[in-house]
Structure 1
Amino acid sequence: MAISNTDEMQRKPTHPGEMLREDFVPDYDLTVAGLAESLGVSRQSVNELLREKRSVSPEMALRLGRLFGNSPEFWLNAQRTIDLWMAAQSVKDEVARIKPLNAA
């Protein structure tokens, strides 16, 4: 028995930068400079991530997971979710024209 998982998400998922900006940075009383220093990256990298102009890379996910005591997978899954949603929005019509195959 197959479980259908094809329902499209109706709202845009939360970008990891928004999570950082709205939840983690205030909860830990961090500044852009303080977060950058703690992560060992540039302020520009952190600023672009917080403004949702940069994606979370596997390297950044490792750094964020270590700093905040959660897993790198948490950060990568959040990024993957937004990436898939945005891709689905941009190719929605083309994908809709694809006819699914049936197993023989």
Structure 2
Amino acid sequence: MTVIIRKRRPTAPGEILIESILRPRGISISRFAEAVGCSRKHMSDIVNGKVRVEGNMAARIGKVLGTSAQVWINLQAAVDGFEAERAMRRWKPRMTFPPMDQAA
């Protein structure tokens, strides 16, 4: 099993949303927030990486943009995984177990 260690934080879903979708199309955060049914502040917090894109919001964004919710969930999961691994760098487990393909 190969473990990939990321050195760079994955791009957050909000950053992709603003840089690759909203800004190039001239869609304001307010207008997009209205389309997905949330406040401008909440959408601004998503775009600025202050709040996570949860399942319900991922589904709304997907429906408005014609993508799946899974796209936005996966983007958020990549950021979450990176942050979790970074937070655990100094933590040492009390014991470890071999991977399943090496057991027995």
User: Which band: TM-score by shorter chain?
Assistant: 0.7 to 0.9
Question: Is it true that 1:40 corresponds to 2:37 in the alignment?
Answer: yes
> What value does the CA root-mean-square deviation take over the aligned residues?
1.6
Q: Distance in 1 between matches of 2:93 and 2:86?
A: 11
The C-alpha deviation readout for 1:45-87, integer Å capped at 9, x for no partner, is: 1010011001001001001111111110000000000000000
Between 8-17 and 76-85, report the one with greater CA deviation: 8-17
AA at the equivalent of 2:91: E
The equivalent of 2:25 in structure 1 is 28
Q: Distance in 2 between matches of 1:21 and 1:98?
A: 43
- For residues 7 and 24 of structure 1, do their structure 2 counterparts lie closer, same or farther at Cα, with a shift above 3 Å needed? same
Which 4+ stretches in 1 moved above 4 angstroms? Answer: 95-98
Between 87-96 and 70-79, report the one with greater CA deviation: 87-96
TM-score, normalised with respect to structure 1: 0.88
Tell me by how many angstroms 1:10 deviates: 1.9
Tell me by how many angstroms 1:27 deviates: 2.5
The equivalent of 1:68 in structure 2 is 65
TM-score, normalised with respect to structure 2: 0.88
Q: Distance in 2 between matches of 1:31 and 1:40?
A: 14
- For residues 46 and 78 of structure 1, do their structure 2 counterparts lie closer, same or farther at Cα, with a shift above 3 Å needed? same
AA at the equivalent of 2:46: L
The equivalent of 1:5 in structure 2 is 2
